[in-house]
A and B are shown apart, each in its own frame.
Chain A
């Protein structure tokens, strides 16, 4: 897919993704400061608008960078900055190419996860968004024909969310809850899962996500 097609795919995905804002806000209310719902809805809106204003000839990397910038500027929060940095890192895997080649989703997802891991000084098991991101990236990278297998990624992310629910939060505001965080779903990991599900539902009409 080229830049224009990628932009349209993102916009379709974000339109569905914002439906989860309330759910994510409620999860964050229980475990963090409760602003994740706002972060998602403001960020998605800003990214969609930025894509509408983008030139049709923009490369996939430019499309991603426009989203990153819009998302960060819409939300002066740590989470938004982490996501913007992750998208920036992901965009570097796309280079100046005018098309997203098959099999690039895995490299993109891994670079994004590594960026959040490095910037946030966190790993899988700390009960963060990474508990969904790394397994999903591995699933995408493992697809044998190089074609990203979104369904496998969703399955892996979902398993990550379930696994991390039983863990204690080690990072961010959620860590202040200490052992009271055990048994609560991590809002970040859930958000990533919902994003993948939204992508699948919006851009794979032949299948039911």
Chain B
């Protein structure tokens, strides 16, 4: 396995320093820890702040959604590891504009532990917080245990909508309600073709044979629900899409937002081949795609594979998705 890195243990700080150097007009670090990043104009007085965070290795996830109309701050840990409660707390203080702070992040034990600790630290400082967890991976738990599902790429819908709600002046409870509403109407399923290689160990996070694929894989290589012979793009799209449509109980006449997300090593061309089939299937079912995103939004270093996310839309959700936003990795004009 070949990687363009220096000292493996410096990998995280070095890519973060790169982001700060490349985008000083959009993001900054409040102290001297590059693992904490806030929008350049933070804190925005009177606005609800949104803090996200999680492990490194998922760019543009987390770091990429800090900016106007999105999240205000992020705390990041080592590759696939949670940030510390102190880092989350530092991001919280840096984005607190006096209207409280929403914690919006993926449902993983380590992250929940550290963000929850920061809830107490924030309360001691007089900063009210609310927490909403992304839990969109339908392969990780059945529908009746949806709140226990892992959070994957679909959380970007929640970043976008909650960010827009905060930007237009909604209260903390309103912003949290928007995020929760989006999370409850989002469903994601992924497929993995090759594993992630961790920079510190140089070892793959899981094994897949040359001709194998794994449906339902998590963004850290968590086991999926089906491992088998690699299928055609159309078959993969069919396999990923059907459970999502069932999960959201989609019927003819519904509108959705679609996200076809690459996991790190899959070319954009292949993502569009998938998108083509998703579009055809939804059209055949009488479902309108009112908004689409195709590209890398939540990756797993160099894992080959893709995920498909659907968000069931109504007018208010669509309005929030269409509101202006800008980060180093995401622009909605």
Question: Which A residues lie at the B interface, using CB under 8 A?
Answer: 65, 68-69, 72, 76-78, 81-82, 84-85, 88, 115, 119-121
Contacts and interface: CB of A to CB of B under 8 A. Distances in A.
Contacts of B89: 72, 81
Given A77-B86, A78-B85, A81-B86, A119 B117 contact: yes
B86 A84 contact: no
Given A69-B125, A119-B113, A121-B113, A84 B120 contact: yes
A82 B125 contact: no
Given A69-B125, A119-B113, A121-B113, A88 B120 contact: yes
B310 to A, nearest CB: 32
Interface string B132-143: 000000000000
Interface in B86-111: 86-87, 89, 109
Nearest to B85: A81
Contacts of A115: 120
Q: Which 10 A-B pairs have the closest CB atoms?
A: A76-B86, A85-B120, A81-B117, A81-B85, A69-B124, A88-B120, A72-B121, A68-B124, A119-B116, A81-B121
Contact of B84 (A69, A76, A85, A88): A76
A115 B85 CA distance: 16
A54 to B, nearest CB: 14
Contacts of B109: 121
Candidate in A77, A85, A115, A121 with the most chain B CB atoms within 10 angstroms: A85
Nearest to A69: B124
Interface residues of B, number: 16
Contacts of B188: none
B123 A88 contact: yes
A65 B124 contact: yes
A82 B84 CA distance: 12
Contacts of A121: 109, 113
A68 B89 CA distance: 14
B261 interface: no
Residue of B84, B118, B120 ringed by the most chain A CB atoms within 10 A: B120
Contacts of A119: 113, 116-117, 120
B121 A84 contact: yes
A72 B114 CA distance: 14
Contact of A85 (B87, B117, B125): B117
A72 B118 CA distance: 10
Given A82-B117, A88-B124, A120-B113, 13 more contacts: A65-B124, A68-B124, A69-B125, A72-B121, A76-B84, A77-B84, A78-B85, A81-B85, A81-B120, A84-B120, A84-B124, A85-B117, A85-B120
A78 B117 contact: yes
